[in-house]
Amino acid sequence: MRIVLTCLGLLLSVVSAQADKVVASGKPLKLYEAYSTNPDCSSAGNVVVRVVQSPEHGRVSIRPAGVFPRFPETNIRSVCNRRRVPGVLATYVSQRGYLGPDFVVLEVLFPAGSGGRIRFPIRVM
């Protein structure tokens, strides 16, 4: 069951990450946050996030962070949505003054063994 819920969360996050992200030049943009959470809101293990394709006109930073999960109300973990849980945050910042398109690909690996690559088209304005 845990694997099914983790895969469902990954699929939902991958689908939502496909739309163009828009950001002002030189300002940080939250690209992606990931977490693996037990029903008691504790960590189910570390999520690994890596940059597979770096942006041409900016940089991506990946760091551990407390994140608010987004479990559906039907998920036993939905009680965790009201508090921060251990996770990983990926942030993009363009070169100062750059305007135009950029692109990032992240690889995400969850402790239960699932994972995948996520593409982020970015428009810098």
Task: Print the SS3 string covering 28-83.
Answer: EEEEEEECCECCCCCECCCCEEEEEECCCCEEEEEEEEEECCCCCCCCHHHHHHHC
pLDDT at 20: 84
Note the pLDDT tens digit of each residue in 93-112. 999 999 999 999 999 999 99
| Residue 4 clears pLDDT 50, i.e. is over it | no
Instruction: Tell me the per-residue pLDDT of 12-52, one tens digit each, with 9 for 90 and over.
Output: 444 444 558 999 999 999 999 999 999 999 999 999 999 99
* β-strands 85-94, 28-34 pairing: antiparallel
